Amino acid sequence: MAFGHGLSVKSTTEEVKALRAVYGVSQDDLKEVMIVGKAIDGKVEEIVDEFYIWLRERDEWDQYFSDPQRVIALKKVQVTYWEQFFTGKLDVDYVDYRRFIGETHARIGLGLPAYFAALTNFLDKFSPYITSVEQFAAVNRLLHLDAALTVESFNRLSNKTISDQNKALMEMSTPVTSIWDGVLMLPIVGILDSKRAQDLMQNILLEINQTQAKVVILDISGVAVVDTAVANHIIKITKATKLMGCICIVSGVSPAIAQTIVELGINVETITTTASLKDALKLAFNTVEVTIGE
């Protein structure tokens, strides 16, 4: 049975061998786990039912488990999980299924503390069937490997989701807008780091190329902090637009920002700046020889 469908990352045989080495899961350990599994055989569904009685008292129940159909589906998943655990077979399917569990937790928003609490509860329920130190050590080693795979998968998908959301947010909050023939405007709000500055520059240059704009207004009145790095990012953007034959006007330079830039010793001789967006618009329209009535 293959469990890797839809996973962000699928495992390989070489990776499984490496994981076994890292977590010290030997063939003897897997045999000991299998012995425990034989003692538990036929009781996994009952143990899972007991687990859900415990789960009803936790805060997560109302948010994630109030739907009876979801509970039925999740019980089947957990029965499969533990039956696979106690087969003593650590292969590609096994690793992929653990990653699937981690990604499932990330997709529904169920945090890792809930996962670890559940793992501890299940271990308590399996304890009566563990009859030797060797069995206990083997089960724990395999559980540690399980937890590592689940956490790794959870974090990878969570970080990707956050990255995608941040990217979408930046695209929505910093659009390059054509406000007149030959005039573009880009309002920057929030924090300007290296990655965002690079994306902004790319978007601006692409828009200049497509519209053949002569002026671009970079409004920084909404930038949270202006330090050396931010000032240098702005200078790089203005230089890049100049190479495209486009004048860049930086608007929204407040007294505090101006003082900060001066104190930092940033060379701003090549930058055209205005205190307000209104002044920047006047300058831009004059550049493209457009007359706007007062």
Dump pLDDT digits (tens) for 96-139: 999 988 888 888 888 888 889 999 999 999 999 999 999 999 99
CA-CA distance, 90 to 67, in Å (whole number)? 33
Q: Given pLDDT bands bounded at 50, 70 and 90, which one contains residue 288? A: confident
The boundaries of the domain holding residue 65 are 13-170
* Cβ neighbourhood burial of 118 (10 Å; 0-12, 13-18, 19+): middle
258 and 273 assigned to the same domain: yes
> 254 and 147 in one domain?
no
Residue 5 lies in a domain: no
Residue 293 lies in a domain: no
pLDDT value at position 9?
66
Q: Is residue 7 part of a domain?
A: no
Does any domain span residue 212? yes
∠97-100-103 over CA atoms, to 5°? 160
Do 41 and 125 lie in one domain? The reply is: yes
133 and 228 in a single domain? The answer is: no
Instruction: For residues 206-216, give the mean pLDDT.
Output: 92
Distance CA 82, CA 151 (A): 18
Q: What percent of the chain has pLDDT over 90?
A: 47
Whether the CB-CB separation of 58 and 104 falls below 8 Å is answered with no
pTM score, two decimals? 0.59
Let me know if residue 3 belongs to a domain.
no
Instruction: With CA atoms as reference, report the closest residue to 220 among 232, 204, 207, 234.
Output: 234
Which CATH number goes with the domain that contains 250? 3.30.750.24
Residue 177: HSE in the Cβ half-sphere, 13 Å Cα cutoff = 11
Q: What is the pLDDT confidence band of residue 159, given thresholds at 50, 70 and 90?
A: confident
85 found inside a domain: yes
Burial state string for 234-257 with b = 16 or more CB within 10 A and e = fewer than 16:
bbebbebbeeeebbbbbbbbeeeb
Asked if residue 182 and residue 148 are part of one domain, the reply reads no
**H/E run at residue 189:** strand 183-190
CATH number at residue 111: 1.10.490.10
State whether 123 and 212 are in the same domain.
Answer: no
Give the separation between CA 76 and CA 5, rounded to whole angstroms.
17
Establish if 31 belongs to a structural domain: yes
Question: What domain count does the chain have?
Answer: 2
